[in-house]
Amino acid sequence: MSLIWILILSLQIIYPARTTDLNERTFISVESGKNVTLHCKEKPEKASKIWVWYKQRVGQEPQEVATQLTSNNQEPFLNSIFQKGFKIDKKDFSLTIKGATKDHEGMYFCGKGDGNTLKFFNGTFVAVTDHPQSSISIIQTPKLALVRPGDNVTLQCTVHHKVQAAERGVLWFRSAAGRSFPEIIYTHHNSSRQCEISSSKDGCVFNFTKNISNSEDTGTYYCAVSSCAKIIIGNGATVRLKLKLKLL
């Protein structure tokens, strides 16, 4: 099975939790060894007796990461298997992953309960990349594109490589508010051949053009490259609609 299909399956078989914050992002790419903080959509309140963080990896059952009982104003505590590499903040129940590794990858979602039921907010998928050790790096442009409904937007993915890879797969996927997992939207066919054609001193350039008909087409678009048994993900390009100005 190709790495492209492995990536597609890993993004789509994730448990579809219902709605976290992170500015409504449902996907985060963090470099290996870096820290990343996840936020709940709401701050802990006494009206909800319990707050929880859960993590789920592909093909595995959800695991409880952290819990906070607000009724007795107790300190939040981490599950024993998550006490290393994680930190929980009492004020807003945010969850920090310290020194991210591949073991930290997965879907994270928080929830609140009244003692009888739990309500979960949108899950956020955390992917850990190894850019510093990889022979491939990705630059996406533009970082932010503001368009009007009906306009086309062209996103560029420049792949820099220290060595020429025999096989390379390139795809684009979108993360947007209201979606429980990223959406695969385009795969470059024969991308290794396309790379040879578009090669320059700046690397291989892959362009993706999308018509933004309405807000459902907005979000953060990511370029992902598979090569040498690795998947490298770009930092993303955010597409938003221009605000309409009201004339007085």
What CATH number does the domain containing 38 carry?
2.60.40.10
List the single range of 3-7, 11-15, 142-146, 222-226 with lowest mean pLDDT. Answer: 11-15
Residues 30 and 93 in one domain: yes
Is 6 within the bounds of a domain?
Answer: no
Is 173 within the bounds of a domain?
Answer: yes
Residues 125 and 188 in one domain: no
At residue 18, the pLDDT reads: 29
Residues 71 and 151 in one domain: no
| Nearest C-alpha neighbor of 109 from the set 70, 51, 69, 60 | 51
Mean pLDDT computed over 235-243: 87
Model confidence at 107, pLDDT cuts 50, 70, 90, reads confident
In this prediction, what percent of the chain has a pLDDT beyond 70?
68
Is 10 within the bounds of a domain?
Answer: no
Residues 158 and 229 in one domain: yes
Residue 19 has pLDDT above 60, yes or no: no
Is 166 within the bounds of a domain?
Answer: yes
List the single range of 34-43, 73-82, 186-195, 207-216 with lowest mean pLDDT. Answer: 186-195
Q: Examine the fold and report which residue of 109, 129, 149 is the final residue of a domain before the chain moves on.
A: 129
Task: State the number of CA atoms in the 13 A half-sphere of 75 facing the CB.
Answer: 4
Model confidence at 185, pLDDT cuts 50, 70, 90, reads confident
Residues 90 and 151 in one domain: no
Residue 132 has pLDDT above 60, yes or no: no
Domain carrying residue 113: 18-129
Dihedral pair phi/psi, residue 6, rounded to 5°: -60, -40
At residue 3, the pLDDT reads: 44
Total domain count for the chain? 2
Mean pLDDT computed over 214-224: 89
Going by the DSSP 8-state scheme, the letter that residue 115 receives in this structure is S
- Cβ of 191: how many Cβ atoms within 10 Å? 22
Residues 97 and 138 in one domain: no
Q: Examine the fold and report which residue of 107, 129, 151 is the final residue of a domain before the chain moves on.
A: 129
Model confidence at 53, pLDDT cuts 50, 70, 90, reads very high
Q: Examine the fold and report which residue of 100, 129, 158 is the final residue of a domain before the chain moves on.
A: 129
Is 1 within the bounds of a domain?
Answer: no
Residue 41 has pLDDT above 60, yes or no: yes
Cis peptide bond N-terminal to 142, omega within 30: yes
